[in-house]
Amino acid sequence: MVLDQAKSGPNPNAPLRCETDSTALTGQDVGRVRMALRRSVARWGEPESEQRTTLRAVQRLWASRPTHKQVADVLVERLANVPQNAGIADLDPILAAVHVGTEAEHDVRVPDSFVRKVERALEAPIEQLIERRVVSSSEVLAEVLPQITSHVAAGVFGDPTLRELYARIYAAFRHRRSLLLLNLEHQVQIHELPWVKAIDPFRQRRADTRVNALGTLRHACLLALGSFPQTILPNPLVRELTALAKQAELDLPFIEEVAADIFMGSFTLKWREVAAIASDVMADTLYARYYDLPAVAAWPPIDARKPGIPERVKTRWGKPTAVDFAQLCNERAREAMLGDGSFVARNGAVIEQSQILTTHNLAPLLNRLELTGRVSDSGAEWASTAFDWIVKEHTTRYDSWRSQLQMLKNTAYAFRQALVFLSFVDPTGQRQVVSELKARAASEPGDWQARFAPVIHGLEAVLEGGYFDVTGHTGPTGRRFLGWSVGRHWLLPRADETRAGEHRQG
């Protein structure tokens, strides 16, 4: 039996030509039938042959196995028998092989797609959740960390009931929706809630609570940096680290990432404070040379009794802002002014310079938490991970123009993180990591290699003691890698230009 065929292909709704006999078949139809039979025999063997008999047996076995729907029903039944308001400590009974009364010779393994969903209910140490990719990013880490920090924060209450109450309030508060506000404003803080103010008098200063908070802070930082070295600390995670530092009574300033589309051109004084720490901690390092970091003398302490204070501090929206810090960020952002672009692109270039000057929290964290020794041991591995991620992102196809720009920004931030880690590695280790980066890049397409080569050449030049000029160039081909540009970024391929002949970031 052959379906009526149109020029565009088989028509499933056409009548059968040989429903009772073959007299209606044309010569072309007969030829097609013979060709289909020849192909079937060539691939699967003749009817009743050993090859085809084995095939049919395997097909019957697969057909007799439980469907995904049947497996899902079994998993739902198993999950219904565990506590519904807590995580699952042991997933093995839930993910055991499934048998639903089929004729299969062995039970059916739970599909990976179901395993990944069930694993989201796993109750385990964060390290295990990261290893199993349940916690797959710094953003997800920030979502689960309040489950730990809430109990640390509640440790200041001696009464068990108050501890449990505050832990629940804290965890719920951390899952509120985050908003971006103008004019240096911020959302309501937890200590401003009336019901939290009501129990504040019952707080107690306890040494064990401070020690616990400090240990949790160190552990959380190492988890974020070691597990996701290519990612800057996201704002939700920064807020958790800030709360832990406060609980540990540690003078550790934190800054958050600023959105380029609402940036008002000003930075509060804490940005200047963090920049001073970064200039001190990163002095004479690979990072300082690569980004031309100013000396710590560029950030003299602000004393209202001394002359020059009006030139460095200005009140905006009722808050003191660092004028000299903002001016330096604007001056340094000129390197990214490659053409015409939107105000968002200009803001982004300024914000990127603020992150460079402050190392976006890394230098203060490593210094105040005494983690530089750990970075010396693991920095080469972390930097290599970040570099591998950068190459992977750059060689992934992004059809969307905005996706390309987002990739450039994120990979430049990852590059900055890698240089912070490498700055605490000995020169031999630094050269080894850069050599691995070159080898990794050499295995990628030639057109991308040509575009990315200035990044590697610039890093190599600085590694050997060179510096970039004011335009971000060094030597004949080296260039400093920045993520933002006002005008078409030099790392974008020519084929992806717009019809107007120019990409505009932002």
Query: Torsions phi, psi of 420, nearest 5?
Result: -60, -45
Per-residue pLDDT tens for 369-396?
A: 999 999 999 999 999 999 999 999 999 9
For 474, the token pair is 């060094």
Number of H helices, E strands in the chain: 21, 6
* 275 Cα distance to chain centroid: 24
Per-residue pLDDT band at 13 (split at 50, 70, 90): low
Q: Name which residue leads in pLDDT, 469 or 50.
A: 469
Check if the beta carbon of residue 379 is closer than 8 Å to that of residue 421: yes
Counting beta carbons within 10 angstroms of the beta carbon of residue 195, is it exposed (0 to 12), middle (13 to 18) or buried (19 or more)?
Answer: exposed
Instruction: Give the single-character DSSP code of 479.
Output: E
Quick: pLDDT tens for 119-132: 888 877 788 888 88
pLDDT at 306 over 90: no
Hey, what are 63's tokens? 């057909």
Which residues lie closer than 8 Å to 54 by C-beta, 6 or more apart? none
**Encoded tokens for 489:** 């970024």
Give the side-chain half-sphere CA count within 13 A for 279. 18
Query: What count of other Cβ atoms lies within 10 Å of the Cβ of residue 411?
Result: 23
> In this predicted structure, what is the pLDDT of residue 4?
44
Average pLDDT, integer, range 267-272: 92
Provide the residue type at 83 as one letter.
P
For residue range 149-208, list pLDDT tens digits in order.
777 777 777 778 887 777 777 777 777 666 555 555 566 677 777 877 777 777 777 777
Beta strands 319-322 and 478-479 are unpaired
Q: Shortest CA distance to 175 belongs to which of 135, 211, 146, 132?
A: 146
pTM, whole model, 2 decimals?
A: 0.78
Candidates 23, 382, 449, 124; CA nearest to 231 is: 382
C-alpha distances out from residue 208 to 151, 155, 156, 204, 239, Å: 13, 9, 9, 11, 22
Distance CA 250, CA 4 (A): 80
Which residues lie below 8 Å from residue 55, measured CB to CB, with a gap of 6+? 44, 45
Residue where the block lists tokens 């985050």: 178
Confidence label for 311 from pLDDT (cuts 50, 70 and 90): low
Q: What number is the average pLDDT over the span 260-289?
A: 93
Task: State residue 188's pLDDT score.
Answer: 67
Residue 25 burial (CB count, 10 A): 16
| Residues contacting 386, CB < 8 A, separation 6+ | 229, 230, 414, 415, 417, 418, 421
Which pair of structure tokens corresponds to residue 462? 């600085």
What gap in Å lies between CA 78 and CA 69, rounded to an integer? 14
Per-residue pLDDT tens digits for 211-228: 888 998 999 999 999 999
Compare 337 and 4 and report the one with higher pLDDT.
Answer: 337
Adjacent-strand bridge partners of 203: 157
Residue pointed to by tokens 């404070």 = 273
More confident residue, 190 or 70: 70
> Looking at residues 266-293, what average pLDDT do you find?
95
Task: Name the residue with higher pLDDT: 134 or 422.
Answer: 422
Percent of the chain whose pLDDT exceeds 90: 41
pLDDT at 442: 93
